[in-house]
A and B are shown apart, each in its own frame.
Chain A
Amino acid sequence: MATFAEDVQRAFADTVLPGNLKWPKASEVLNFPLHHLSSVEISSEILNLDIWGRLVSASPESRQSIGSEIERDLSAVFQLLLPLIFSAYYSHPEVLSLIEAEHSYPARPPMPEGQTFILLASPPALPEVTKPIWRKDGTETGEKVFALQATDPRKEWKLEEIMRWHTS
C-alpha cells in the first residue's frame, strides 16, 4: 500500500479544480505532495493503472474526460480523493481570502467569532393571532384548552395553569 505520486496528485487536483480568470487552479495554491493525502493508502493494483499516467501527460483540455473515466471506473477512489483535495483548496488562506472578497464569507472557521447577520432586513411581523387553528383530538381536555385559547389567543400562560389542564 502507498499513496499517489506528487505529479498524479497535482494532475488530479488541477482536473477537478481547473481555475478560471477569477479562481486559481489547485496547483497554484496547494503544495504537493498534499499533507491531506499523506495518510491515504491506495492499493498498488490501483496505483499501477495506466490511467494515472495518462492523466499526468494529458493537456488541461483533455483532462476532464479522463477525470470522468476515473469517476466512472474507480468511483471509490474518486470519492475519496475529491473531498480531500476540495478541503485542502477551500480551507487554504488564499482561497478563503478570495471567497471573502467575492462573497463576504469571513476567511476563518465559524468559531470562535461566530457570524454576524450583515444583511438582516427588518424582521417580518408575526402572523396576526386571532384564534387557534390546531386540530382538536377529540378529548375533553382538548376541547377545553381550545376554547380557552380561542377566548384569549394572546394570553401569556403560566406553568401552574398548564399543570391544571389535565390530570391522568
Chain B
Amino acid sequence: MNSESRVVIIGAGASGAAFAWRLAQQGVKSICLERGDWLNPDDIPTDQADWEYRRITDFSPNPNVRKAKSDYPILDANSEIKPLMYNGVGGSTIMWSAHTPRFRPSDFKINSLDGVGFDWPISYWDLAPYYEINDSVMGTSGVAGDPGNPPRTPRDTPALPYGAVGTKMANAATQLGWHWWPSDGNIFSKSHDDRFGCNNCGPCEMGCRIGARASVDITYWPKAIAMGAELILNASVSHIEVDAKGFANKVIWFDQNGTEQATSCDFVVMAANGIGTPRILLNSVSNLFPSGLGNSSGQVGRNFMLHPIAGVSGVWDEPVQSWAGNDAFCLLTQHFYETDSSRDFKRGYEMQVTRGQGPLISALGGFGLNVPWGQGHHERFDQVFGRVATVAVTCEDLPTDTNFVSIDSNVTDRFGVPAAVMNYELEANAQQMKSHGIESAKAWLAAAGAREILVNPLVAQAGFHLMGTTRMGTDPNISVIGQDCRAHDVPNLLVIDASVFASSAAVNPTPTLQAIALRAADQLVKSGM
C-alpha cells in the first residue's frame, strides 16, 4: 500500500502529538506513524491485586523487561543506566510521573556562562510562550511565583498535596535556608475542565486510569484528530528514503502483519525519542547518506545525555504514609542548580522529594531500602514500610562524543530492523556533582528528622530522559539540526524530540521538548512550507 501526506510524523508521543496539534490548528494536516496502539485505561493494572508485580514485569517502563509487541530491542550492556520508555499513542507520557519543571534560562547558554558543553542557538525566551501554551493543553498544577525561575502564568489547579513527607522536607529546606518550591506537574489536584482531580493513588508511572494525570493520548491527540490529524497505528518505521536531490520523500514502515508499506511526503518529522530517532536515521542509509540520514557530520547518535540520578532515602521512626500521593514528586529545591566556583564540578543538580512504594516493592528492598529475604525480613519491613521518602538527586549531564546511540544489525526487532545500542558512562563532572548531591540530600533528610539514611548512588532503572542524539546548533560540523529543527543536511527532515537538546539541564525534559515541537510547527508553517 502506498499513501501520501505533506507531513509525516514518526512517533505519537509528547512531541509528535504537540506538533500535530499545532499544525492542525493552522490548517495543516499530518499523518503520524505510531508503532504501538492506544492504551485502554481499563488495562492499567493499578486496580489489580498483583499491580506491583505487573509494574516490574509486563507493565514495566523498561522495554527490555516489558517486551511488548510494539517494543524494539535496546542493547544496554554498555550503559550504566537502563532505558525506560513506552511505545504507543502517548509515547512515554503513558508511563510518566508528569513532573514538569522547566529549563532555566542559563541551561541554554552553558558554554557562554560556564565554558562547558554547547550553547543552544535559541534561548529560554524563544520557548517561554510555548511553555505556556503547552501547560494549558496538558493541564498543570502548581504555584506560580517561584523566585528561582522566570515568571509564568497561574497554574490551572493548586499544587498536589505535600503529605507528611513533603511537609517535613519543606520545613527542613526552610530551616537550612535553601530554595524550595512546590513542583509543577501535569496532574490536576482537583477536577478541572473535563478531567478528574488526582485521588493520590500513587503509582503515576503505571498510567492514570482516571485521566487526572495528563498524557498526550488524552490531551493533544483528541484535539488534533478532531482538526484533521491522522494516526496510523501499529506502524513500525524501518527507514526513510531520499530522492536524487537528497530530500526525504518516503517513509518505509511495517504494519502489524509484517507487510512493508510506504508513505510519500514533503516533510518527515522525527518524534521517536532520543533513542528511536537516531535508530531510524542511522538505519536510513543511501548512496547520498552512506552513514545515515542527516549524518554527514557523524553526529547522529552522539552526545547522548541521560540524567544520572542518585536516590537518597530517609527512614523516620513514625509513619509518614509514604505510599500516598504521586510517588515521584511533591516539591523540589534548585538551591544547587547553578555553577559555584567553590565546588569541583560545573553546572548543578536539582533535588526532588519522592515518596515510597507499596508493600511488594518495599519488601523487595526497592530504592535501596536494604530489606533482606529470610531471617530479619519481616522485622526490617516493619521498620521501613510507610516510613520512608527518597530524595532524587537529578544531575545535569554534559554531552560527550563517547556517550552515544548506535545500531546493531546482529540483533533486530520482529521486522528485521536493527536494534538500538546504548553506549553510556558517567563522565567525571557528573560523578563529582552526584557525590555532592548525595551529601546535600543526606543533610536535607537529617534536617527533616530521618532516623536512618540510605544511599543508592546511581539509580540504574532511570533512563527515561533520552537527550542530545541529534543536537541543535548553528555549525553543521558539530550539530545535526538548526534552530528551526530542520536537519542541516536534509531541509525537509525535522527532529522535534529531546534528541535536539544541546544541553540536558537538571530537570525533566518533557515540557521543554513539547515547547520545542510547538515552536517548530509554527516555524514550518511560517516558512510557507
Contacts and interface: CB of A to CB of B under 8 A. Distances in A.
A31 to B, nearest CB: 15
Interface stretch (B299-307, B377-385, B420-428): B377-385
Contacts, number: 231
B360 A114 contact: no
A162 B132 contact: yes
A113 B199 CA distance: 7
Contact of B201 (A22, A114, A132): A114
Interface in A127-160: 127, 129-139, 141-142, 145-146, 148-149, 153-159
A25 to B, nearest CB: 9
Contacts of B324: 115-117
Given A86-B363, A135-B104, A145-B151, A120 B128 contact: no
Given A99-B359, A137-B109, 11 more contacts: A23-B378, A67-B373, A90-B360, A91-B50, A95-B359, A103-B319, A134-B147, A156-B154, A162-B128, A162-B153, A168-B122
Contacts of B154: 156
Given A103-B319, A126-B181, A158-B153, A145 B125 contact: yes
Interface in B8-53: 44, 46-53
A111 interface: yes
A136 B147 contact: no
Contact of B148 (A126, A134, A138): A134
B432 to A, nearest CB: 20
A121 B163 CA distance: 7
B145 interface: yes
Contacts of A117: 161, 163-164, 200, 321, 324-325
A120 B167 contact: yes
B457 interface: no
A118 B386 CA distance: 12
B258 interface: no
B170 interface: yes
Contacts of A118: 321
Interface in A51-100: 63-64, 67, 82-84, 86-87, 89-91, 95-96, 99
Contacts of A113: 199, 201
A111 to B, nearest CB: 4
Nearest to B53: A87
Contacts of B47: 109-112
Interface of A: 15-20, 22-23, 36, 63-64, 67, 82-84, 86-87, 89-91, 95-96, 99, 102-105, 109-124, 126-127, 129-139, 141-142, 145-146, 148-149, 153-159, 162-163, 165-166, 168
Contacts of A63: 374
The 9 A-B residue pairs whose C-beta atoms are closest, nearest first, are A114-B199, A166-B125, A137-B105, A87-B53, A110-B201, A115-B324, A124-B170, A16-B373, A141-B125
A22 B382 CA distance: 10
A162 B129 contact: yes
Contacts of B374: 15-16, 18, 63-64, 67
Interface residues of B, number: 79
A32 B477 CA distance: 64
Contacts of B491: none
Residue of A67, A99, A116, A137 with most partner-chain B CB within 10 A: A137
A28 to B, nearest CB: 12
B375 interface: yes
A84 to B, nearest CB: 8
B123 A109 contact: no
A138 B113 contact: yes
A131 B151 CA distance: 11
B153 A120 contact: no
B203 interface: yes
Interface in B148-203: 148-154, 161-164, 167, 170-171, 174, 179-182, 198-203
A119 B199 CA distance: 15
Interface of B: 44, 46-53, 56-57, 104-106, 108-109, 112-113, 122-126, 128-129, 132, 136, 143-145, 147-154, 161-164, 167, 170-171, 174, 179-182, 198-203, 209-210, 319-321, 323-325, 338, 358-360, 363-364, 373-375, 377-379, 382, 385-386
A110 B170 CA distance: 26
A73 B427 CA distance: 34
Given A109-B51, A118-B321, A18 B375 contact: yes
B364 A157 contact: no
Contacts of B46: 109-111
Given A134-B105, A162-B132, A119 B320 contact: yes
Nearest to B105: A137
Nearest to B386: A103
Contacts of B152: 157, 162
Contacts of A82: 364, 373
B126 A135 contact: no
Contacts of B358: 105, 110
B132 A137 contact: no
Contacts of B105: 134-137, 139, 142
Contacts of B56: 83
B143 A126 contact: yes
B51 A121 contact: no
Contacts of A137: 105-106, 108-109, 113, 123-124
A104 B321 contact: yes
Contacts of A168: 122, 125-126
A137 B283 CA distance: 38
Contacts of B104: 134-135
A151 to B, nearest CB: 11
Given A103-B319, A145-B150, A83 B360 contact: yes
B378 A20 contact: yes
B338 A86 contact: no
A18 B52 contact: no
A17 B377 contact: yes
A87 to B, nearest CB: 4
Contacts of A87: 50, 52-53, 360
